[in-house]
Amino acid sequence: MISRRSILQGATALGGLAVADLAGWTKAWAQSAMHKPEAGAKLQLLRWKRFVQSEEDAFLKLVAAYTKATGVAVEVLNESLDDVQPKASVAANVGSGPDMFWGLYSLPHLFPDKCLDVTDVCEAVGKKYGGWAKSAEVYGKSGGKWVALPVAYNANLINYRISAMKEAGFSEMPTDTDGFLALNQALKKIGKPGGMALGHASGDGNAWVHWLLWAFGGNLVDKDDKVIINSPETEAALEYGKKLFEAWIPGVASWNDAFNNKAFLAEEVWLTNNGVSIYAAANRNAAKGDAKAAKIAADMDHSFWPNGPVGEPTEFHIAYPLLGMKYSKYPNAIKSFMEFMMAVENYEPWLEGAVAYLSHPVKGGDDFAFWGKDPKLAPAKPAAFRTRTAGHDGSVGEKAAAALADFIVLDMVANACSGRESIKGAIRIAERQAKRLYR
């Protein structure tokens, strides 16, 4: 297992190499790398648009360093989080498009037979860092081989204002669902409500509604992929969700992944779920002299999700798999890029640039030095090791991926909470959709 000592020694020897090509490290890496790019190789990578500017800056430096080391030009394209999956699906079907896609959750399982086999890369990375999180193996593997590199996770956490929580009568974030509901209701009473996305938000919306369903023992399917969403446990989850919804700011039923960030920074909501990008944005704006942003950054914190009646964490953190396509003319270059990206000299500084918006899925990442710099970011550290995976008790394959992409659980919760459907009616709609998918 890679140790903190070896990481720090490496960084010292390289003079704080980060992602810059200092002291010839990238050239030396290119000479010893497992994979040599094809002659004349060039790559196109489509990824989700950045939520933290410093993460994108660090990533583009990494890309530039790779090009300098290998001569392989990498064009980075950006799409919104919700648009990566349909773009990748079209490319897989027609056999043409970007060489690599960087999406979320179960993306490679929508078309695993179209993904490049990257078993050798992933096994080498796992060995180097002391092993993968179990969830990363579930997302990365199909049919016994690795079809994607689980690059990072986005910890979806409770973001809250400390002063509002205390004003509402709570000294700390509740750790159970009863206390969490009471906090949200108290925040509404003092005019500082919470709010979470209930529109088609692939990240934040899917994250919290699955936590809700699982916290009360509900599941879309069982271990045999039999649809079991129509259950007393699901009804209990929706009854609770409706009470939460009633305490929140109006309008969350139309929120996508960007709305809660904006509402929190505008002091329209005082509690929401998100990565740590809100905190990063507040700190970034504070550094530019924004006094309101400085106040928010100083007064906010993050926490894990409360446990429900099942009595254990039921969090759903966002996995970000990077996959190569079989149709690419440059499979060796794809593997070479993945290998370079996961070299500790590149990987740790890039994650540090992401200021904990992204966290590691490898055990050795626990020892990355930046995790000790800001205690407000600590809850993001174990995301890959705490999360449940898409499908939960069921398979994580194409059907689970499609259920997420079709927002079956999210729409069920939105229908019930907003009153568009009765609780039983919302469940029946989700059941019909799931049965069509899992038949």
Listing DSSP states for 325-366 in one string gives BTT-S-HHHHHHHHHHHTSHHHHHHHHHHTTTSSB-SBGGGG
Distances (CA, A) of 157 to 99, 278, 305: 32, 11, 7
Helix then strand then coil, in percent of the chain rounded to 5, is 50, 15, 35
pTM comes to 0.89
Q: Do 361 and 319 touch, CB atoms closer than 8 A?
A: yes
Q: Which of 356, 359, 354, 249 is nearest to 301 (CA)?
A: 356
Q: How many residues does the chain have?
A: 439
What pLDDT score does 3 carry? Answer: 42
Strands 149-154 and 318-324: antiparallel
What token pair was written down for 391?
């499908």
| CA geometry: angle 73, 154, 12, nearest 5 deg | 60
Q: How far apart are CA 114 and CA 117, in angstroms?
A: 9
Mean pLDDT in each 10-residue stretch from start to end of the chain (439 residues)?
A: 38 38 69 93 95 93 94 95 90 97 91 97 97 96 96 97 98 98 98 97 94 98 97 98 98 93 97 95 96 98 98 95 98 98 95 95 96 95 96 89 92 97 98 96
Q: Which CATH number fits domain 157-316+406-438: 3.40.640.10, 1.10.3720.10, 3.40.50.620, 3.40.190.10?
A: 3.40.190.10
| C-beta separation of 228 from 282 below 8 A | no
Inter-CA distances, 254 with 86, 200, 373, Å: 21, 8, 36
**Per-residue model confidence (pLDDT) at position 22:** 44
Range(s) for CATH 3.40.190.10 in the chain?
Answer: 4-155+317-386, 157-316+406-438
> 4-155+317-386, what's its fold?
D-Maltodextrin-Binding Protein; domain 2 (3.40.190)
